[in-house]
Structure 1
Amino acid sequence: MLRRLALATVGVLAFGALATVAPATAQPQNATVSAASVAGNGGGHGGHPGSKPTTSTSTGYGGAVSSVDASASRVGIEVLKRGGNAADAAVATAAALGVTEPYSAGIGGGGYFVYFDAKSGEVSTIDGRETAPAGITPDAFIDPATGAPYPFTPQLVSSGVSVGVPGTLATWDAALDEFGTKRLSTMLAPAILLAAKGFPVDDTFRNQTLDNKARFAAFPDTAKLFLPGGDAPKVGTTFRNPALAKTLALIALRGPNALYKGRLAAEIADVVQNPRIDPASTLPAPAGTMTTADLAAYEVVQQAATQVDYRGLDVYGMAPSSSGGIAVGEALNILENHDLSSTDAAAALHLYLEASARAFADRGAYLGDPAFVDVPTETLLSQEFADARDCTIDPSAASTRPVAAGALDAVGCASVAFEEAADTENVSTTHLSVVDKWGNAVAYTLTIEQTGGSAMVVPGRGFLLNNELTDFSTVYNATDPNRIEPNKRPRSSMSPTIVLDDGTVKFVVGSPGGATIITTVLQILMNRIDLGMTLPEAVAAPRASQRNGPTTSAEPEFITAYGSALAPYGQVLVPSGDQFTSAAQIGAAAAIEVGRKGLLTAAAEPVRRGGGTGLVVRPAR
C-alpha cells in the first residue's frame, strides 16, 4: 500500500529504477580503500563482523557523490545519471540519509547547504539551521526545582526544551528552487521507497541504537519504532519505517507546508510542549515552548559564503550562524605563513594544533547568530588578523591553553581575555558531497544534533526531533554571543567546504563530529594540499582535534603514530571518545576531488562509522 501511495502521489515511475535500490551489501562499483590499507597508514578503527562492505573510494567521470551510506550515495548517483544536477542529487541523497541515518539526520533537524554554480562561478549558501522558539526564556535550561541547570545528559538532551524549529525540509525546498532542476516530490521518491522497503541493519545502526537504548526506552513512541521487542534491530535484518514513508509521501504530495503548517505542525508542537514520557521513566524530559506559529514562521537564510585564499586556492565555507567557515578560514590563514610541505610531519601537526586552538579561542569570543550578534567576519578572515594570531605561536613549543582570543584592533600579538564556555556540541551529524557533469558542486552538512536527537519520535510519523538548542551555552551570560534568545540560531561547527582552483571545483569536503568538524575539515585540507597525501589517504589518516583545551583529543592511531614525536613540543594527546558513547573516532568525512581532465575522485571513510561510500557516474577503467 505504501509503495502504491508513493507511486501514485510523487511520480516515482520517472525514477522507477530507484525502486530497486540495491542493499547496502552490494558489490563495489570501483576500487576501494580497504581496512587493511587504512591500518597501514594509521587511519580508521577496524571493521566488525557484520559491518557492510563499502566502496569508500571511486574514480571516474560524469559526476560523483560521497556520503556515509551506500544506499544514499547510490540514490544521488542515479539522479545524476538521469540528468539531475548537483543540487537535485544532494537533496535526494539527503532525504535517503534521513531514512538510513535516522539518528543523525532527517526532516526533524537542520543544516547548511553550500552550492557552487559552474556557469556563474558563484558560491552561495543556505542556512537551514534550527531556531529557538519565540517563547524561549534565558532560564530555559534551568531546573525550577533546584535552581541549577538540568544535567546535560541524559536530561537536557532528551527533552522538549532542547528542540529547535527544524529547517531541513525548508533547505531542500530552497535548494531545488534556487539551484535545482527537479521537483521536490521527485527527489523524495527514492527515500519514500527506501523507507517502505527497508535497508539492512549493520553494526553501526545497531550499536547507535544500543547506545541510546535507555533514552529511547523512556519514550514509548520511540521505543516502538527503534526498540521492537525491547531490543535494537539485529545485524542483517531489514529495518523498515512505513510511518516515515507515509510522512515523506505526504510532503511530496503537499509540499513543505505539510510539515510547517497544518496537522503535522500541530503534532510536532504538541510533542515538544508535552513530551510523551513513559510514566515509569526517571527522566524529567522538561517541556519546550515551540508552537505552530514558530513552525509556520520558519525561514532559511541565504547569504554569502566565507572565503580565504590558501596556497593559491579559494576556500569557501559557511558563514555564521555556523562557525565553521570562519574557524577553518582563520586557521588556514595562520598556516599560510608556514611552509608545511617542506617540514616534517610532527612540526606541521604542531602548527596545525596551535592554529586550531587560536581559531577556537576567537570562535568562542566572537561568533554567534549574526541576526543577534555583530560578528566581525571580515576581520576574523583577514590575513592581517591571522598574522597577529600567528605571532603568538612558538613553532617549537605548545602554548599554555586555553589561549586568549585575539584583539580585533590589535597590532602585533595582542590578545584579550574571555571566559571559555563549555563545549556541548555533539558528535553526530552527517555530510554529503556532490559534483555533477557540468562542474556544479554541493557540500551539505545536516544533523539532528546528538546521535538520536532529542530521542523523541513524532508519534506515527517515523522521524526524530532534534536537540539542537543544546548548542546554545547552557548557562546564560548576557555577554556571550551564543546565549539563548528567542528566534535565534544556535552556533554550529558544521563546515561544508568547497575549494576552487582558478574558478573551477577542486575539492568538496565536510564531516560530522560536533566541534571536531572544524578540525577534521582543516586536517583533511592540510593533509591533501600540504602533506602530499592523496584524497583517500587524507580522509583515512588518523586525526587529532585541538579545541583550545589543555590537552588534544586524538584517535588511538594518531597517538601511536605521532604521540612521541609531538611530546617534545609539549603537545599532550589524550584518547578521543565523546561523552555519549565509547566511540574513539573523530568525524566521518565525505569528499570529492576534481583532477586533471575532469577525473573525479569520490572519497568517503573506509572504516569510521561503518565506512562510507564514494561513487562516480562512469568509473574509470
Structure 2
Amino acid sequence: MIVRPALCTIVLTLVTVAVHAKTPVATGTGGAVATISEQASQSALAILDRGGNAIDAAVAAAATLGVTDPFSCGIGGGGFMVVYLAKEKRVITIDHRETAPASFTPSSFTANGKELDFDTTVASGLSVGVPGTVRGWHEALQRYGTMSFAQVLAPAIRVAGDGFTVNDNFTRMVTENTAKFSRFPATAALYLEDGKAIPAGTLLRNPDMAKAYRALATGGVRAFYEGPLAQAIVDAVNRPATKAGSAVMGGAMTLADLANYEARLRPAVRTTYRGYELYGMPLPGSGGVAVGEALNILEGFELGKLPRAQAEHLYLEASRLAFADRNAYLADPEYVEAPVAGLLSKDYAAKRRALIDGRKAPTASVAAGDPYAFQRDASVPLRPLPAKGKLLREGAHTTHLTVADKEGNIVAYTFTIESWGGSGIVVPGYGFLLNNELTDFDFTGPHPNVPEAGKRPRSSMAPTIALRDGKPAFTVGSPGGATIITTVLQTIVNHVDFGMPMDDAIAAPRLSQRNGATTDVEPGFAGTAQAHALARYGHRWSSAPEEIGAANAIVFNPDGTVTAVSERRRHGIGSALVQNKAH
C-alpha cells in the first residue's frame, strides 16, 4: 500500500481484482439509469431501490461521477438539469452554471490589448467560475426530490472512502493532463506517481472528497458556500499552491461571490420535430436553441427517403447554419436580449433552409442570419450587427447522465468542470478539482459572450427530453464541448429519421460540423465508404480525429418497458441499468 504525503491524504493500492463488466444497454421495467460509470449507475439504482425518485437518483449518480470521473465533473463545477415531472406532465430546468466573480470585467482575459494565452489561462485561478453544482443539487432535492443530502450522498461517500479501480481510460486522461496536474502539489499527490499517471489497476481512494461530501451531508448547501470549505475554495482560486518555479495566475474570488451564488429555474426551450415535442436547456445553454433550430431546418427535407450520403450532407449543413447563429447571438439571458423566438421560428428555419446547396458544401464559414424579423417580440426593436462567427475553443470534457423512475419522472443532466481536469487545481484538504469554466467566454469583444461580473458563460450542454403524444419517448445528452450539440442532433436524426435503435444511433460514427472549413470526425472515419460518399459533396475532415462525446439515453418503449442506453466503446464503455431487467 502506498500512502501519499500529508498535504493530500490519498491512498493508492495496486490491485488485480477484475472490474465488474459494464453493460451499455439494458431493457426492463421500473427505474432506469445510464451513465459512463458503473459505480455511478449502481449508486442511482440503489437510491431507486430504496424508494427514491429520479431526482434523488440523479444526484446520487452525479456525486459518484465526481469520484470516478473527476476530470469531467464534480462539485467544483456546474451544470444543467432538465426534469420531466410525471404527475404534473411538465418539464422544468435547473440552471446551476458557474458565474464570473464580481471582480470580472470584459477585459479580464486581456493584457496590453491582447488576449491572454488560452492554455495558460485554463491552468489558473483566473479561469475558475463560482461553482454551482452543489446549489443545483440542493434546489433539485428541495423542490422535486424525496431524500436528503445525507441519503443521496451515501453511495458516493462509500466509493470515495473505499476506493475504485482505475481503468485504462482514467490513466489515459491523467497522462494527457500530466503537465497541468504537476503544477499543483495537491493534484499531483492525488493523480500522479513519480511524475507519471497512476497506472490502470490502481485502487484509488479519496478520503478528502469523502470529507467534503460528509460536510454536505451534515451541513447541507451552506457547508459549501460558507465556512471552512468556502474559504478553502477562495484560497485555492486566489493563491493557487504550486510547485517551486511554476508561475500560475490567481483569480479574485471572494466569500461573497460564493455566498451570493444562486441557481436559476428557467422555462425549457421547446420545439417540435416530426411529431415529437423536444425540450431542452434554455440560455445560457446554447444547445437547446441550436439543436432546435437545426431540426427545424431539417424538417423541410424527407431525410428518411433520401440516399444516406445526401441526408447526412443536409444534416451537416443544417448544423453549420445553426452554429453560425449560435455563435453570433447567444449568451447569458440576464445580460443579452438574444432573439431565441426568432431562431426557433419555423418560418426563419425555412429561410435558412433555402441557403443550403443540396449538392455542394460551402468552402468557408457561412454568415449568421437575421432572426429579428421572426422574433414576434415588440420589446426587441433593434437588430444588432451579428458578431463575426468564429470557432471559440471550448473544453470537450463533460459528462451526461439520465435517470427515470417507476413513476415516470425523468432527469437528463449534463454537468462539467470544462476541460479535462478543469483548471487542474484540487482544493487542498477536500479532494475535488475546480473548473476552468470562465474560458467559455469570448476573450475579447464586442460579442454577447464577453465576461462580465456575475455573468454565466455560454454553454453547449444540451440535455434533451422528447415526448410523443404527450408521453415520454426518449431522453438523450452527451459531453463534448461544442460537439455536444452535434452529437445530440445527429443521434436524434439517426433515431427519428433513419429509424435506428437508440443504441445504434449512439454508436454510429459522429460528424461534427460547427461552421468551419472542415468537419470533425472520429479516428478511422476518413477512409470509409461513408467518408468518400460525403467527400463528393465537398466535405473535408479534421486533420486530428478524436473521440467525440460519450452519450447516454433512455427510450420509453410502447410496451411499457424502458431501455437504458450508453456507449458501446467510447470512454471505456458506458453503464446502463434497469430495476427489473427483461429476460
Query: What is the aligned partner in structure 2 of residue 233 from structure 1?
Result: 198
Contact 2:368 2:389 in 1 (8 A): no
TM alignment of 1:165-564, pairs within 5 A = 165-281=130-246, 284-409=247-372, 418-474=387-443, 476-478=444-446, 480-559=447-526, 560-564=528-532
Q: 1 CA distance for matches of 2:530 and 2:454? A: 45
Q: 2 CA distance for matches of 1:141 and 1:224? A: 30
| Partner AA of 1:215 in structure 2 | K
Q: 1 CA distance for matches of 2:70 and 2:534? A: 39
Tell me: CA distance 1:598–1:415, structure 2 relative to 1, closer, same or farther (3 Å). farther
| Partner AA of 1:615 in structure 2 | L
Using the TM superposition, give the Cα deviation of residue 137 of structure 1 relative to its aligned residue in structure 2, in angstroms.
2.4
* Superposed CA offset, 1:171-217 (max 9, x none): 11111111111112110110001000000110011111111111111
* Superposed CA offset, 1:251-280 (max 9, x none): 110011111011111111111111112122
Using the TM superposition, give the Cα deviation of residue 415 of structure 1 relative to its aligned residue in structure 2, in angstroms.
13
Residue of 111, 117, 131 corresponding to 1:151? 117
Query: What is the aligned partner in structure 1 of residue 569 from structure 2?
Result: 607
Contact 2:329 2:386 in 1 (8 A): no
Q: Which moved more, 1:221-230 or 1:81-90?
A: 221-230
Total equivalences in the alignment = 558
Q: Does 1:86 align with 2:54?
A: yes
Contact 2:80 2:463 in 1 (8 A): yes
Q: Does 1:25 align with 2:14?
A: no
Q: 2 CA distance for matches of 1:458 and 1:410? A: 49
| Partner AA of 1:345 in structure 2 | R
Q: 2 CA distance for matches of 1:561 and 1:234? A: 38
Secondary structure of the corresponding residue to residue 249 of structure 1: helix
Residue of 560, 567, 571 corresponding to 1:598? 560
| Partner AA of 1:114 in structure 2 | V
Q: Which moved more, 1:563-572 or 1:493-502?
A: 563-572
Contact 1:404 1:415 in 2 (8 A): no
Secondary structure of the corresponding residue to residue 598 of structure 1: coil
Q: 2 CA distance for matches of 1:24 and 1:172? A: 33
| Partner AA of 2:223 in structure 1 | A
Q: 2 CA distance for matches of 1:172 and 1:529? A: 32
Query: What is the aligned partner in structure 2 of residue 37 from structure 1?
Result: none
Q: 2 CA distance for matches of 1:56 and 1:89? A: 18
Q: 2 CA distance for matches of 1:162 and 1:337? A: 42
Q: 1 CA distance for matches of 2:352 and 2:179? A: 45
Using the TM superposition, give the Cα deviation of residue 416 of structure 1 relative to its aligned residue in structure 2, in angstroms.
7.2
Q: 1 CA distance for matches of 2:29 and 2:285? A: 32
Secondary structure of the corresponding residue to residue 401 of structure 2: strand
| Partner AA of 1:226 in structure 2 | Y
Task: Give the alignment's TM-score, normalised by structure 1.
Answer: 0.88
Q: 2 CA distance for matches of 1:336 and 1:122? A: 25
Using the TM superposition, give the Cα deviation of residue 150 of structure 1 relative to its aligned residue in structure 2, in angstroms.
2.3
Identity %: 51
Tell me: CA distance 1:422–1:335, structure 2 relative to 1, closer, same or farther (3 Å). closer
Contact 2:34 2:403 in 1 (8 A): yes
- The runs of 5 or more residues in structure 2 that have no matched partner are 1-16, 375-382
Contact 2:367 2:389 in 1 (8 A): no
Q: 2 CA distance for matches of 1:62 and 1:163? A: 40
Q: 1 CA distance for matches of 2:558 and 2:93? A: 27
Using the TM superposition, give the Cα deviation of residue 399 of structure 1 relative to its aligned residue in structure 2, in angstroms.
2.5
Contact 1:98 1:107 in 2 (8 A): yes
Using the TM superposition, give the Cα deviation of residue 417 of structure 1 relative to its aligned residue in structure 2, in angstroms.
6.1
Contact 1:576 1:585 in 2 (8 A): no
Q: 1 CA distance for matches of 2:536 and 2:114? A: 42
Using the TM superposition, give the Cα deviation of residue 148 of structure 1 relative to its aligned residue in structure 2, in angstroms.
3.0
Query: What is the aligned partner in structure 1 of residue 41 from structure 2?
Result: 73
Query: What is the aligned partner in structure 2 of residue 7 from structure 1?
Result: none
Contact 2:83 2:412 in 1 (8 A): yes
Using the TM superposition, give the Cα deviation of residue 166 of structure 1 relative to its aligned residue in structure 2, in angstroms.
0.3
Contact 2:329 2:387 in 1 (8 A): no
Tell me: CA distance 1:291–1:571, structure 2 relative to 1, closer, same or farther (3 Å). same
Query: What is the aligned partner in structure 1 of residue 104 from structure 2?
Result: 136
TM alignment of 1:101-116, pairs within 5 A = 101-116=69-84
Query: What is the aligned partner in structure 1 of residue 14 from structure 2?
Result: none
Query: What is the aligned partner in structure 2 of residue 57 from structure 1?
Result: 25
- The runs of 5 or more residues in structure 1 that have no matched partner are 1-22, 27-52, 578-583
Contact 2:412 2:464 in 1 (8 A): yes
Q: 2 CA distance for matches of 1:416 and 1:567? A: 34
Q: 1 CA distance for matches of 2:18 and 2:302? A: 43
Q: 2 CA distance for matches of 1:256 and 1:515? A: 30
Secondary structure of the corresponding residue to residue 125 of structure 2: coil
Contact 1:555 1:575 in 2 (8 A): no
Q: 2 CA distance for matches of 1:340 and 1:183? A: 47
Task: Give the alignment's TM-score, normalised by structure 2.
Answer: 0.93
Secondary structure of the corresponding residue to residue 433 of structure 2: coil
Tell me: CA distance 1:576–1:356, structure 2 relative to 1, closer, same or farther (3 Å). farther
Q: 2 CA distance for matches of 1:598 and 1:98? A: 32
Using the TM superposition, give the Cα deviation of residue 229 of structure 1 relative to its aligned residue in structure 2, in angstroms.
3.5
Q: Which moved more, 1:375-384 or 1:312-321?
A: 375-384
| Partner AA of 1:96 in structure 2 | T
Secondary structure of the corresponding residue to residue 332 of structure 2: coil
Tell me: CA distance 1:417–1:571, structure 2 relative to 1, closer, same or farther (3 Å). farther
Using the TM superposition, give the Cα deviation of residue 575 of structure 1 relative to its aligned residue in structure 2, in angstroms.
4.7
* Superposed CA offset, 1:510-556 (max 9, x none): 00000000000000000001112111000100001000001111113
Secondary structure of the corresponding residue to residue 406 of structure 1: coil
Contact 2:150 2:218 in 1 (8 A): yes
* Superposed CA offset, 1:18-55 (max 9, x none): xxxxx8822xxxxxxxxxxxxxxxxxxxxxxxxxx421
* Superposed CA offset, 1:330-383 (max 9, x none): 000001101111111101100000000011000011100000000111111111
Using the TM superposition, give the Cα deviation of residue 604 of structure 1 relative to its aligned residue in structure 2, in angstroms.
0.4
